[in-house]
Each structure stands twice: as structure tokens, then as C-alpha cells.
């Protein structure tokens, strides 16, 4: 999915070009490893290139993040959209909707079917 979305570098010169630009813009992160070459040789064109999300005419978003890792990042994203809610899953894991966790699935299904959001500060217990 990352290569098809244009989230990887197709060759080393492209990665180095990005690093050069990143050092110029944010020298304090010069040593940070940003990106990998996992898409080198990817044979298909980018089908879904990155572009800014519209900030208007969007419904509120629902995010789910684990309290062990990921909640703060998810909340920082959903927080950019008024009325959005981030559910905290109180345990480890990724891809909680697809991993069979009943509480996040219940909230996500309600949102996907009729845009019903849970209350802010909703926490799903670990299963």
C-alpha cells in the first residue's frame, strides 16, 4: 500500500535528494532516518499520490490509537478536524479494526454505517 500511495523512494538518488532538502529545512533532524528504499523497483505507477486533505466539507473523523503506542499521533491528526474523536485502546496492537478487538470495532462500525461518534475520551479496555 505504501508504494502504491507514493510513500517510498524508488532509488537511492531520490532518497538522498529528500535528505538534502530535509537537512536544509530542518537541520536539527539531520540525523533522523526518514524513509526507506522498500519501493525500489516497484513496477506500478503511483495510484493514490499524497495531497493535502481538504479542511472543509469533511465530516468529523474517528481515530483509534493504542495507549501503548500510537494514541498521541492519532489524536494529533484527528484533532485537526472539528468534532472528531479518538478512541484510546488500552493495550498493545495495531490495526485494531481488523484485529478482532470488539470495542473498537463496535465504535468504528457505528461511525462507518451512520457517522455516529463515541463520546470524547472513550477508552476501550484491552482484550
In this structure, the answer to whether residues 38 and 78 fall within a common structural domain is no
Residue 115: exposed, middle, or buried by beta-carbon count in 10 A (0-12, 13-18, 19+)? exposed
Gap between the Cα atoms of 97 and 63, Å rounded: 10
Tens digits of per-residue pLDDT, 49-70?
877 877 677 889 999 999 887 8
Q: Is 124 helix (H, G, I), strand (E, B) or coil?
A: strand
Indicate if the pLDDT at residue 33 is higher than 60. no
Compute the CA torsion angle 58, 98, 92, 6 (nearest 10 deg): -60
In this structure, the answer to whether residues 42 and 72 fall within a common structural domain is no
pTM > 0.85: yes or no: no
Q: How many domains does one find in the chain?
A: 2
Going by pLDDT thresholds of 50, 70 and 90, the confidence category of residue 29 is low
Predicted local distance difference test score (pLDDT) of residue 1:
63
Query: 114 lies in which domain range?
Result: 62-125
Amino acid at each position: 500500500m505504501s508504494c502504491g500511495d507514493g510513500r517510498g523512494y524508488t532509488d537511492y538518488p531520490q532518497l538522498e535528494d529528500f535528505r538534502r532538502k530535509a537537512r536544509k529545512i530542518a537541520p536539527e533532524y539531520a540525523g533522523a532516518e526518514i524513509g526507506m528504499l522498500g519501493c525500489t523497483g516497484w513496477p506500478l505507477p503511483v495510484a493514490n499520490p499524497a495531497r493535502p486533505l481538504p479542511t472543509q466539507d469533511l465530516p468529523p473523523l474517528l481515530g483509534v490509537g493504542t495507549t501503548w503506542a500510537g494514541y498521541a499521533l492519532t489524536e494529533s491528526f484527528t484533532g485537526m478536524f472539528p468534532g472528531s474523536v479518538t478512541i484510546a485502546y488500552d493495550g498493545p496492537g495495531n490495526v485494531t479494526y481488523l484485529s478482532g478487538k470488539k470495542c473498537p470495532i463496535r465504535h468504528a462500525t457505528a461511525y462507518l454505517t451512520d457517522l455516529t461518534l463515541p463520546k470524547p475520551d472513550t477508552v476501550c479496555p484491552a482484550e
